[in-house]
């Protein structure tokens, strides 16, 4: 059974169609990149999966269970976690408090403490500044915090929206390194929105190309680099 | 005289701070400016007495021993607020802040008229804890016992609330939700729990204000929450919308300004004290439209 | 040649005309078939149209809710009383008035204009401070302004009579006078809504940040609408006083604020027609509930609501409207003739 399945999913804002009847599945442990130009519907897609955006039509399933129509917190409690665009750190809360916000539904108190220790081990800077307000961290550190915060909910499936946005290339390398290591460690399923398909190709995994709310291509990220599918997705076939 | 003034300022400011917290807590989690808060206060006042149109009230709950009475009135305040959330504001969860505000105004009118229908329109004499008016010598001043109790209670409530927000799970979730509700929900924070919690706290704080008002004035009046709610609103704006420490600080500040105006305005201008106060606030906002204690990152969300 | 745009503008121009015609028909109907009490009801309703349409000019176009407009009505009412009451009356009731005002005996129309003008001036001065705040903070500040005006009016006894009523105002306002002012308010509101300032202000209502980015000076347009809006509320307040002959500060406080809000929200804040329809709907509902409070006999069984339930039920209705029809009865639409009716002969059909 697939980890995540979208069936005929549509999202509309008023008359504007953001997602036009999308269907695809993601296998357990898979790493899926979603790429495409601005306005392709990438963020709407993540929003519809996480419950933040209401679907006009169709459904989303995780482990065969229907998610559509549920509140975001219920979906989160079923093992889906989100690293949102722009990170959305709770700037006024301390680093440690940020990490603990999502642990309310976990009954395994001991494991929460272990996870916290693991986060501080893998990101010593977060440990050092655990009692400092999160707003004082640098952009790269905030991205690490956002990822760690999502992990603290003990998710099975993690959605990551534009992790490289606004970060220096070197920091982006580090972010991806960490993400992949964590994925291997935990057997996570990852869905990552990544504007740069070159980056996706380098990291490796499956890639969906979107344009105008539709999927225009689906395949191995490394394979895309060689083809002109990308150019086509960005500049259209009318050229 | 000056010491007496300090006590006046502290006790008045303390009550304003408690009322402002009641407003700011709800605004923080759901961007609702609760115009029914004054009626929450009035409702808690009338909960003390037996329904009748008589001019002198017969105490109902108000006749119970203090610990029981306080617990019960706080519970009634909290219960009313939670009920209001469930029946009125939950169906409006996705509405604009303007609709929420207007709905709360309508709820306030409804509650006020319910009280009018049940208790009649005339203010009633209520003697609750009459012994608390006795003056107690403190250094050079004679301070009413009630004032000392109010100051102590406010300090205890503020400390307790700060501890709750800082140390408990629901406190953490409330603070996270106040910063970014959508993100908190994406992390599994239950919107209904946080919002009900904020309403319950806000209602209990309204009940605290109610008890102090009754003990101070010895009167139950359906309009009695109105003035204090207005000051609380102003405190939340001056404090920077949604900032809890800001609301407390601004509440204390407004209490102090009010006590000072009362002491130093010429007698013929004293009836206009509140008008001066509101004018002063508008001037303050002219200088700092985002509030005195607005968080550094406060800017309109795009 | 008539462009599509011109035709649409022409259709929009029919809105105030239609609204005024409906109100005219209402007055004729009431005067022909009703008695004195229905005529009173009609007068009250038409005064409410002046007030609520005035209120709409600001709230409807800017999207900012004001809780302070009852204060403008208060000021307008007292200005009209100060300038029209018989001098002997004023020396007795309001000994603190300056001599020129104590001696003034203005014609009622000039007094109403003055009431509106003073209210507008007050709006300019206070709005200059209040409207610099963001939407919600501005709403709260207007509430503070209302309380401030009420505090001053309730305590400034030599000039306002304090909390006791000022009596003896000329009762010149009947259905026709009220209709005249209601029509004026509707016309001005429609003109403003289609003016450059009105259009700019509505753009800020949709998206304040984007409007500011495209160079719209939100503050200036809000202030203009605020002053214009205060003018008609000031006039409406004066009309209220001259309809019943008595004024006191509490008649222009929270309950008036509530009624005006209820009317606007029920009809729909998004359109001028909504403001007018809201007045009619709430007035009719209010009358019906009042009748029920006094008791009626249904199928031989006397039925009556407990006194005070009118307000409770109107408040309840308002909440229900907000939940189930958040944009109000008209949902932002205008009453207008269909575009094809006003298109005229199409000569450009080649």
Q: What is the DSSP string of C296-333?
A: EEETTEEE-PPTTHHHHHHHHHHHHHHHH-TTTTTTT-
Q: Among the residues of chain C, which ranges form H helices?
A: 4-33, 36-62, 69-84, 87-93, 99-103, 108-130, 135-155, 157-160, 175-194, 196-206, 208-213, 218-244, 254-267, 272-294, 309-324, 339-342
CA dihedral B206, B209, B213, B215 (to 10 degrees): 110
Per the structure, how many domains does chain C have? 1
Backbone angles phi, psi at A163, to 5 degrees: -65, -20
For residue A33, give every residue at least 6 positions away whose Cβ sits within 8 Å of its Cβ, in sequence order, or none: A192, A193, A194, A197, A200, A203, A205, A206, A207, A208, A221
B→A contacts (Cβ < 8 Å), by residue, are 169, 172-173, 175-176, 179-180, 182-191, 295, 297
Query: Tokens for B93?
Result: 């969860």
In this prediction, residues C145-173 reach a mean pLDDT of 89
Instruction: Note whether A97 contacts B176, CB cutoff 8 Å.
Output: yes
Q: Spell out which residues of chain A touch residue B169, defining contact as CB-CB under 8 Å.
A: 104
d(CA A135, CA A95): 9
Residue from the list A71, A135, A149 with its beta carbon closest to the beta carbon of B187: A149
Instruction: Kindly state whether residue C50 falls inside one of the protein's structural domains.
Output: yes
Would you state the pLDDT for residue C42? Answer: 92
C343 in contact with chain B, both atoms CB, cutoff 8 A: no
Instruction: Note whether B102 contacts C315, CB cutoff 8 Å.
Output: no
Q: Among the residues of A26-159, which ranges form H helices?
A: 42-50, 72-77, 95-100, 109-122, 124-128, 139-151
Backbone angles phi, psi at A9, to 5 degrees: -80, 130
Instruction: Kindly state whether residue C313 falls inside one of the protein's structural domains.
Output: no
Given a contact cutoff of 8 angstroms between Cβ atoms, the answer to whether B77 and B40 are in contact is: yes
Would you state the pLDDT for residue A7? Answer: 92
Window C:282-321, CB contacts with B under 8 Å: 306-309, 311-312, 315-316, 318-319
Taken as a whole, chain C contains a residue count of 350
In this prediction, residues C46-58 reach a mean pLDDT of 96
Backbone angles phi, psi at C330, to 5 degrees: -90, -10
Residue from the list A91, A92, A153 with its beta carbon closest to the beta carbon of B187: A153
Q: Inform me whether the pLDDT recorded for B76 exceeds 50.
A: yes
Instruction: Kindly state whether residue C13 falls inside one of the protein's structural domains.
Output: yes
- Per residue in A158-202, pLDDT tens? 999 988 888 888 888 888 988 898 888 888 999 999 888 888 888
In this prediction, residues C265-273 reach a mean pLDDT of 89
C254 in contact with chain B, both atoms CB, cutoff 8 A: yes
Given a contact cutoff of 8 angstroms between Cβ atoms, the answer to whether C324 and C268 are in contact is: no
Window A:99-128, CB contacts with B under 8 Å: 100-102, 104-105
Instruction: Kindly state whether residue C321 falls inside one of the protein's structural domains.
Output: no
> Nearest-CA residue of chain A relative to B187?
A102
Residue from the list B91, B114, B237 with its beta carbon closest to the beta carbon of C141: B237
Would you state the pLDDT for residue C10? Answer: 74
Instruction: Note whether B179 contacts A92, CB cutoff 8 Å.
Output: yes
Instruction: Note whether B285 contacts C135, CB cutoff 8 Å.
Output: no
Given a contact cutoff of 8 angstroms between Cβ atoms, the answer to whether C283 and C41 are in contact is: yes
Identify which of B204, B182, B197, B187 has the alpha carbon closest to the alpha carbon of residue B94: B182
- Per residue in B163-190, pLDDT tens? 999 999 999 999 999 889 999 999 999 9
> Nearest-CA residue of chain A relative to B177?
A90
Q: Inform me whether the pLDDT recorded for B295 exceeds 60.
A: no
Q: Spell out which residues of chain C touch residue B95, defining contact as CB-CB under 8 Å.
A: 322, 326
Which of A105-119, A132-146, B21-35, B132-146 has the weakest average pLDDT?
A: B132-146
Q: Spell out which residues of chain A touch residue B172, defining contact as CB-CB under 8 Å.
A: 93, 97, 100-101
Interface test with B, best of C63, C134, C140 (most B CBs within 10 A): C140
SS3 at position C273? helix
**Which DSSP category does C65 fall into?**
-
Q: Inform me whether the pLDDT recorded for C13 exceeds 50.
A: yes
> Is there an interface between B and A (3+ Cβ pairs < 8 A)?
yes
Query: How does strand A16-26 pair with strand C246-247?
Result: unpaired
**Which DSSP category does B141 fall into?**
E
Identify which of C328, C324, C183, C332 has the alpha carbon closest to the alpha carbon of residue C263: C328
Instruction: Kindly state whether residue C135 falls inside one of the protein's structural domains.
Output: yes
In this prediction, residues B261-273 reach a mean pLDDT of 85
In this prediction, residues B49-61 reach a mean pLDDT of 78
Instruction: Kindly state whether residue C350 falls inside one of the protein's structural domains.
Output: no
d(CA A171, CA A174): 5
d(CA C309, CA C121): 38
Q: Inform me whether the pLDDT recorded for C5 exceeds 80.
A: no
SS3 at position B32? coil
Given a contact cutoff of 8 angstroms between Cβ atoms, the answer to whether C241 and C169 are in contact is: yes
Instruction: Note whether A72 contacts B186, CB cutoff 8 Å.
Output: yes
What per-residue string of b and e applies to A76-101 under the rule 16 or more CB within 10 Å gives b? bbbbbbbbbbebbbbbbbbbbbbbbb
Instruction: Note whether B233 contacts C144, CB cutoff 8 Å.
Output: yes
Given a contact cutoff of 8 angstroms between Cβ atoms, the answer to whether C164 and C156 are in contact is: no
SS3 at position C45? helix
Which of B272-276, C109-113, C221-225, C345-349 has the weakest average pLDDT?
A: C345-349
Chains that contact A by 3+ CB pairs under 8 Å?
B
Instruction: Kindly state whether residue C192 falls inside one of the protein's structural domains.
Output: yes
In the block, which residue shows the tokens 């012994």?
B131
Domains with residue ranges and CATH for chain A = 4-235 (3.40.50.300)
Residue from the list C145, C208, C308 with its beta carbon closest to the beta carbon of B116: C308
Q: Inform me whether the pLDDT recorded for C341 exceeds 60.
A: yes
Predicted structure pTM score? 0.86
The whole-chain average pLDDT of chain A stands at: 87
What per-residue string of b and e applies to B276-297 under the rule 16 or more CB within 10 Å gives b? bbbbbbbebbeeebbbbbbbee
Instruction: Note whether C147 contacts B116, CB cutoff 8 Å.
Output: no
d(CA A36, CA A194): 8
Instruction: Kindly state whether residue C325 falls inside one of the protein's structural domains.
Output: no
- Angle, CA of C238, C175 and C37, to the nearest 5°: 105
Q: Spell out which residues of chain B touch residue A73, defining contact as CB-CB under 8 Å.
A: 185-186, 188-191
Domains with residue ranges and CATH for chain B = 2-287 (1.10.3470)
- Per residue in B99-122, pLDDT tens? 898 899 999 999 999 998 888 888
For residue C294, give every residue at least 6 positions away whose Cβ sits within 8 Å of its Cβ, in sequence order, or none: C304
Host domain of residue C90: 4-249
The whole-chain average pLDDT of chain C stands at: 88
C212 in contact with chain B, both atoms CB, cutoff 8 A: no
Residue from the list B98, B113, B230 with its beta carbon closest to the beta carbon of C143: B230
Q: How far is C184 from chain B (nearest CA, A)?
A: 28
For residue B301, with 0-12 CB atoms within 10 Å meaning exposed, 13-18 middle and 19 or more buried, which class applies?
A: exposed
In this prediction, residues A41-46 reach a mean pLDDT of 89
Interface test with B, best of A97, A104, A116, A157 (most B CBs within 10 A): A104
């Amino acid at each position: 059974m697939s980890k995540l399945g979208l069936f005929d999913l549509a999202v509309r804002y008023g008359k504007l169609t953001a997602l036009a009847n999308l269907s695809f599945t993601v296998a357990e442990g898979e790493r899926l990149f979603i790429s495409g130009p601005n306005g392709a519907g990438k963020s709407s897609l993540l929003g519809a999966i996480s419950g933040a955006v209401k679907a006009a039509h169709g459904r989303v399933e995780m482990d065969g269970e229907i998610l559509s129509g549920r509140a975001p917190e219920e979906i989160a409690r079923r093992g889906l976690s989100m690293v949102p665009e722009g990170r959305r750190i709770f700037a006024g809360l301390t680093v440690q408090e940020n990490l603990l916000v999502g642990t309310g539904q976990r009954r395994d108190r001991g494991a929460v403490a272990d996870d916290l220790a693991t986060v501080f081990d893998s990101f010593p800077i977060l440990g050092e500044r655990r009692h400092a307000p999160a707003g004082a961290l640098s952009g790269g550190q905030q991205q690490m915090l956002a990822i760690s915060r999502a992990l603290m909910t003990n998710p099975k499936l993690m959605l990551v929206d534009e992790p490289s946005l606004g970060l220096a290339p070197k920091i982006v390398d580090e972010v991806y390194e960490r993400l992949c290591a964590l994925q291997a460690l935990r057997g996570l399923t990852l869905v990552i929105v990544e504007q740069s398909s070159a980056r996706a190709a380098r990291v490796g995994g499956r890639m969906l190309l979107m344009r105008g709310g539709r999927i225009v291509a689906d395949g191995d990220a490394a394979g895309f680099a060689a083809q002109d599918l990308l150019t086509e997705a960005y500049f259209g076939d009318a050229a | 005289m000056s010491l007496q003034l300090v006590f006046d300022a502290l006790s008045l400011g303390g009550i304003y701070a408690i009322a402002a917290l009641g407003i700011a807590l709800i605004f923080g989690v759901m961007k609702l400016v609760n115009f029914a808060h004054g009626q929450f206060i009035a409702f808690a006042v009338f909960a003390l007495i037996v329904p009748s149109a008589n001019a002198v009230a017969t105490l109902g709950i108000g006749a119970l021993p203090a610990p029981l009475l306080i617990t019960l009135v706080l519970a009634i305040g909290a219960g009313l607020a939670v009920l209001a959330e469930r029946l009125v504001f939950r169906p409006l969860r996705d509405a604009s802040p303007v609709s929420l505000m207007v709905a709360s105004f309508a709820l306030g009118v409804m509650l006020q008229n319910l009280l009018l229908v049940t208790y009649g329109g005339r203010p009633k004499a209520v003697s609750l804890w009459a012994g608390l008016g006795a003056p107690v010598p403190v250094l050079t001043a004679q301070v009413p016992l009630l004032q000392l109790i109010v100051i102590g209670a406010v300090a205890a409530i503020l400390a307790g609330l700060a501890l709750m927000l800082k140390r408990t799970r629901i406190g953490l979730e409330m603070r996270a939700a106040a910063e970014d509700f959508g993100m908190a929900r994406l992390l599994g924070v239950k919107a209904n729990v946080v919002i009900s919690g904020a309403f319950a706290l806000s209602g209990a704080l309204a009940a605290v204000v109610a008890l102090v008002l009754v003990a101070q004035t010895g009167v139950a009046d359906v309009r009695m929450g109105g003035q204090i709610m207005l000051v609380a609103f102003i405190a939340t704006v001056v404090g920077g919308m949604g900032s809890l420490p800001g609301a407390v600080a601004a509440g204390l500040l407004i209490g102090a300004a009010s006590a000072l105006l009362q002491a130093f305005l010429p007698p013929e201008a004293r009836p206009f004290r509140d008008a001066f106060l509101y004018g002063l606030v508008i001037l303050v906002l002219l200088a700092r439209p985002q509030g005195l204690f607005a968080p550094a990152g406060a800017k309109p969300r795009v | 040649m008539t462009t599509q745009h011109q035709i649409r503008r022409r259709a929009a121009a029919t809105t105030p005309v239609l609204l005024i015609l409906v109100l005219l028909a209402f007055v004729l109907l009431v005067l022909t078939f009703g008695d004195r009490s229905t005529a009173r009801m009609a007068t009250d309703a038409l005064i409410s149209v002046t007030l609520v349409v005035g209120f709409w000019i600001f709230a409807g176009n800017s999207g900012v809710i004001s809780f302070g407009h009852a204060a403008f009505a208060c000021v307008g009412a007292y200005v009209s009383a100060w300038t029209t009451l018989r001098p002997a009356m004023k020396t007795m009731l309001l000994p603190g008035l300056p001599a020129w005002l104590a001696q003034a005996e203005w014609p009622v129309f000039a007094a109403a204009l003055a009431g509106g003008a003073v209210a507008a001036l007050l709006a300019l001065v206070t709005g200059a401070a209040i409207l610099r705040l963001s939407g919600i903070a501005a709403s709260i500040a207007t509430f503070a302004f209302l309380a401030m005006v009420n505090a001053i009016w309730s305590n400034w006894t030599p000039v306002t009579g304090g909390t006791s009523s000022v009596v003896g105002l000329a009762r010149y306002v009947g259905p026709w006078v009220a209709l005249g002012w209601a029509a004026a308010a509707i016309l001005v509101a429609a003109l403003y809504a289609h003016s450059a300032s009105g259009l700019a202000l509505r753009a800020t209502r949709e998206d304040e940040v984007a409007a500011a980015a495209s160079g719209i000076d939100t503050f200036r347009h809000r202030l203009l609408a605020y002053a214009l809006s205060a003018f008609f509320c000031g006039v409406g307040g004066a009309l209220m006083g001259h309809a019943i002959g008595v004024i006191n500060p509490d008649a222009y406080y929270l309950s008036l604020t509530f009624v005006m809000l209820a009317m606007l929200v029920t009809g729909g804040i998004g359109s001028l027609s909504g403001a007018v329809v809201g007045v009619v709907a709430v007035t009719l509902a209010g009358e019906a509930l009042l009748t029920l409070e006094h008791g009626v006999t249904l199928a031989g069984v006397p039925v009556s609501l407990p006194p005070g339930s009118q307000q409770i039920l109107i408040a309840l209705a308002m909440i229900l409207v907000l939940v189930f029809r958040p944009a109000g009865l008209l949902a932002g639409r205008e009453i207008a003739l269909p575009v094809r009716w006003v298109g005229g002969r199409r000569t450009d059909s080649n």
